[in-house]
Structure 1
Amino acid sequence: MVRQDGKRNFGLRESDGSESSVFSGNYPRQAAMKAARRLTPASSEADADQQELRLRERGTDKLHVYEAWAWEEDAPEDGPEWLSGTIIEANVAKQSIEHLDE
């Protein structure tokens, strides 16, 4: 279902079928990026292990499947004062869309 502000809700689906978290975004990739930032980060992008994310679009039977990985980077030097130390970067790659029979 699309909200009035244009955003859609996506539930992060676990292997047992339960949904542990809900992420919102205008597009499925936006929600997947938010979910990917919660993964355990590697020390660099080259060392990051890819994990599968399965996001069910609320109100539909669509299940968006992504490969996701996260890593730590130093905060940019020209960033705001409160942004110091390391930050978590992430990336996702869409694998498929499945339709649930539930």
Structure 2
Amino acid sequence: MVREDGKRNFVLREEDGTETSVFSGSMPRQAALKAARRLDPAGSEEEAQDGAVEIRLREKGTDKVHIFDAWAWESSAPEDKPGWMEGSITKGNVSKKGIEHLEE
């Protein structure tokens, strides 16, 4: 279901079917990128991509489950970072595998 601001809500589904965190975005990939940043980060992007994790996001109000391979890595913060930002940040990336429909 689309909100007034054009964004949709996606719920992270665990392997056992439980639903935990909610991520919003105008597209499923945008929500998946937010979810990917919460993964345990690797030292570099190459290491992280080798250990990609499958994440499943169900679009609220529908039976669609978007499936992504996701990975995260540590990166140094930009030089023009604000004063409150730490020296390193977590970056994430995803690759879409497909869509399933729930039969519940």
Q: TM-score range by the shorter chain?
A: over 0.9
TM-score when normalising by structure 2: 0.94
How far, CA to CA, are the matches of 2:18 and 2:85 in structure 1?
34
Equivalent position SS for 1:31? helix
User: Pairwise mapping of residues 7-86 of structure 1 onto structure 2 (< 5 A)?
Assistant: 7-48=7-48, 49-86=51-88
Instruction: Give the TM-score of the pair, scaled to structure 1.
Output: 0.96
Aligned to 2:99: 97
1:71 is paired with a residue whose SS is: strand
- What is the number of residues matched between the two proteins? 102
Residues in 2 aligned to 1:77 and 1:22: alpha-carbon distance in whole angstroms: 32
Q: Secondary structure at the match of 1:55?
A: strand
2:4 aligns with 4
Following TM superposition, where does structure 1 have runs of at least 4 consecutive aligned residues deviating by more than 6 angstroms? Answer: none
Mind listing any 5+ residue stretches in structure 1 that lack a counterpart? none
RMSD over aligned Cα atoms:
0.8
